[in-house]
Amino acid sequence: MADGKAKSKVAARAVKAKPAVKTARATQIIQEGKTNMSEANQTVVDRVQSLFGDVNTRAKTAIEKNTKVVAELTDLTRGNVEAVVASSEAAARGVEALGQEVSEYGRKSFEEASNALRSFAEVKSPIDFFRLQSEFAKSQFDSMVAESSKVSEAVIKLAGEVFEPLSNRYAVAAERVKNVVAA
């Protein structure tokens, strides 16, 4: 029986040893799982940081490019406004000069008409009256044609002066916009 008791004690110890082995194996599996999870977590963290680093670099590049575009467009707009102001100043000067010219022509025509009326009042015969009236009408017509031609030339010249800053600016703006779009 002693032999039976010894077997029973060995069996009891073996039963007690099995849970300890199982616990050690479970602990080992948990440790391996933790190590695997840590490695996986680190891989995810590295990938996320790489992704955000790439996004950050791209965002900085895009912001720098957009800042350059905005600066270029601001400069372009400033130049356009300056061209419009120069054009407006040319138009104002031209309109003022045309106004003075028309005013001078009106004053001159009034004086000529007044002189003609005085001459008409001093006429002694109907033949002289028709002769003076014919001469006055001819001189007024010639004067009007000459003045119309002079005003037409002034308007054409003024149109050129008004549109010159704008057309120059258009050429510059078109080239700059082309360069900004290409960049």
Q: For the residues 94-100, what does the mean pLDDT come to? A: 92
109 and 142 in contact (C-beta within 8 Å)? Answer: no
Residue 36 structure tokens: 């695997």
Higher-scoring residue by pLDDT: 21, 54: 54
Cα 107 from Cα 104, distance rounded (Å): 5
Give residue 15's pLDDT band: very low, low, confident or very high (50, 70, 90): low
The pLDDT of 26-54, averaged and rounded, is: 72
User: What is the separation, in whole angstroms, between the first and last Cα of the chain?
Assistant: 99
The rounded distance, in Å, linking the Cα atoms of 92 and 86 is 10
Token pair belonging to 133: 């009236």
Confidence of residue 172 (pLDDT cuts 50, 70, 90): confident
Kindly state the tokens that stand for 51. 């992704």
Percent of the chain with pLDDT over 70: 81
Residue 86: CB atoms within 10 A of its CB come to: 17
Distance of CA 34 to the CA centre of its chain: 57
Q: What is the mean pLDDT of residues 29-53?
A: 72
Half-sphere exposure of 81 (CA within 13 A, CB side): 6
Mean pLDDT of 102-117: 91
In this predicted model, what pLDDT tens digit does every residue of 123-157 receive, in sequence order? Answer: 888 898 999 999 999 999 999 999 999 999 999 99
β strands within 110-176, DSSP E: none
Instruction: Determine if the pTM surpasses 0.75.
Output: no
83/6: higher pLDDT: 83
pLDDT digits (tens, 9 = 90+) for 58-79: 888 888 888 888 888 888 888 8
* 116, 136 contact by CB (below 8 A): yes
Domain ranges of the chain: 2-182
pLDDT at site 106: 92
pLDDT above 70 for 1: no
Structure tokens at 126: 């109907």
125: left (phi over 0), alpha (psi -120 to 50) or beta: beta
